[in-house]
Amino acid sequence: MKSAILPLYESSEKYLVKSKGCYLYDSEGKKYLDLEAGVWCANLGHSNPKITKVIKKEINTSIHHGYRFSNNYSEKLSSELQRIIGFKNGASVFLSSGSEAINLAITIARKITNRKKIIKISNSYLSAFGFGGISPDNNDLINVMYNDEKSIEAINFNEAAAFVLETGGASLEMVKFPNKIFVKKLVNTAKKNKTIIIADEVTTGMGRTGKWFGFQHYDIKPNMVVTGKGLGNGYPISGVTVDSKIAAAIRKNPIRYAQSHQNDPLGCAVGLEVIKTIEEENIINKSILIGNYFYDKLKFLKENNKDKIKEVRGRGLLLAVEFHKNVDGNLLNKMLFENGFVFGFKLNTIRLLPTLIITKKDIDKFIAKLTDLLKSL
Ligand SMILES: Cc1ncc(COP(=O)(O)O)c(C=O)c1O
């Protein structure tokens, strides 16, 4: 069938009709174990009943409103995010996608500092468009080579508005975690030069790495935290949360920025329910255990397939398995998908960011099939 959707990314010919928990169902009745939680969004499982209940209620109350009003949900979500980030007297703004939020955070940093340049680690992905765009012709973007402490010295931090830190890059190099000394040095250099530190927690946030936020593994304090993806569990909401100093600077010298879906009550109600559910159900602690279980199983597989598996990487439920060149990863990718497993594949590497509620039984099922298929490759 000829699709009426522009083919802007690679996709299969399958049509989805239902998503529930850790599973996706296509129009031919086939069931898939989703090891990517959508696009790493549905941390609490697809169509989570608590989130669905809030959406249904809020649809009948207020989805959206204009600039003449504020609403309680956005106020409360800002407070809750500040609490789990560790900010006091800060403030937030809510948008729809991670890309929008990253671009707004950068816009704010540029206005406050009156500087233009943006620094990021070379393998970080910031956004689909704009200042954070990864296009090489973005002259205002400075890349620090991943884990290369020496390259920090060559950068002129005092002309940089912001250092955008992603503490677990899942997109460009398929799950890499910058080391602590490198990140500390970057953060300290940025602080010394009054460069604003923006933690990009679009992917690493909301429990994905075994803490609320990825930066919390590094003993550092960002000035702004950008959230998205898991904040809405599949519903499109993102946020920029700033510390008290930045909030005060904006209150003193207001910046005008307005989008149609800014601070919409429905999205904020969803974000609040996500935080509440994670806490009530002790999801982060449980996901650490299940993440360790998954990682250990993959490590065991590597030990028994040293000639085929090059590396296993992981933190919490942000995992990857890289194969040696002699393994036909494209074929493995195709066969696993045919066997009902959905995951990321690039650079001869399988990427796994399942829902945080994945069970040992589902992990075992995947490991068994991967073990089996590896024998034939
Ligand atoms: C670290 C990071 N930042 C920003 C984004 C952009 O978010 P979105 O795709 O919601 O625009 C992504 C998306 O994958 C991401 O991984």
A 10 A CB-CB count for 335 gives 17
CA distance 48 to 237: 16
CA distance 267 to 1: 35
**Ligand 1 in reach of 128 Cβ (< 6 A):** yes
CATH classification for the domain delimited by 52-280, as one of 3.40.50.300, 3.30.390.10, 3.40.640.10, 3.40.50.12780: 3.40.640.10
Most informative mutation of 40, 99, 104 for ligand 1 (most atoms within 8 A of CB): 99
Confidence at residue 304, expressed as pLDDT on a 0 to 100 scale: 97
Confidence at residue 12, expressed as pLDDT on a 0 to 100 scale: 83
- The class level of CATH for 16-34+282-375 reads alpha beta
**Ligand 1 in reach of 171 Cβ (< 6 A):** yes
Most informative mutation of 100, 174, 203 for ligand 1 (most atoms within 8 A of CB): 203
Angle (CA) 103 197 138, round 5° = 45
**Ligand 1 in reach of 322 Cβ (< 6 A):** no
Cα distances (Å, whole numbers) of residue 235 to 22, 84, 110, 255, 267: 16, 20, 29, 27, 7
Q: Provide the angle, in degrees to the nearest 10, between the axes of the packed helices 49-59 and 265-280.
A: 150
**Ligand 1 in reach of 102 Cβ (< 6 A):** yes
What is the chain's pLDDT, residue by residue, as a tens digit (377 residues)?
688 999 998 888 899 999 999 999 999 999 999 999 999 999 999 999 999 999 999 999 999 999 999 999 999 999 999 999 999 999 999 999 999 999 999 999 999 999 999 999 999 999 988 865 555 567 899 999 999 999 999 999 999 999 999 999 999 999 999 999 999 999 999 999 999 999 999 999 999 999 999 999 999 999 999 999 999 999 999 999 999 999 999 999 999 999 999 999 999 999 999 999 999 999 999 999 999 999 999 999 999 999 999 999 999 999 999 999 999 999 999 999 999 999 999 999 999 999 999 999 999 999 999 999 999 98
Cα(231) to centroid of ligand 1, in Å? 12
Edge-to-edge strand ranges of the sheet holding 344-346: 309-315, 318-323, 349-352, 344-346
| 330's tokens | 């494209």
Most informative mutation of 39, 95, 100, 125 for ligand 1 (most atoms within 8 A of CB): 125
The number of the ligand 1 atom at minimal distance from the alpha carbon of 97 is 10
Confidence at residue 131, expressed as pLDDT on a 0 to 100 scale: 65
A 10 A CB-CB count for 59 gives 11
Q: Are 36 and 342 in contact (CB under 8 A)?
A: yes
The number of the ligand 1 atom at minimal distance from the alpha carbon of 201 is 1
CA distance 116 to 140: 6
**Ligand 1 in reach of 36 Cβ (< 6 A):** no
**Ligand 1 in reach of 41 Cβ (< 6 A):** no
Domain residue extents for the chain = 16-34+282-375, 52-280
Burial class of residue 12, CB neighbours in 10 A (0-12, 13-18, 19+):
exposed
Confidence at residue 276, expressed as pLDDT on a 0 to 100 scale: 98
260 SS3 class: coil
Cα(273) to centroid of ligand 1, in Å? 21
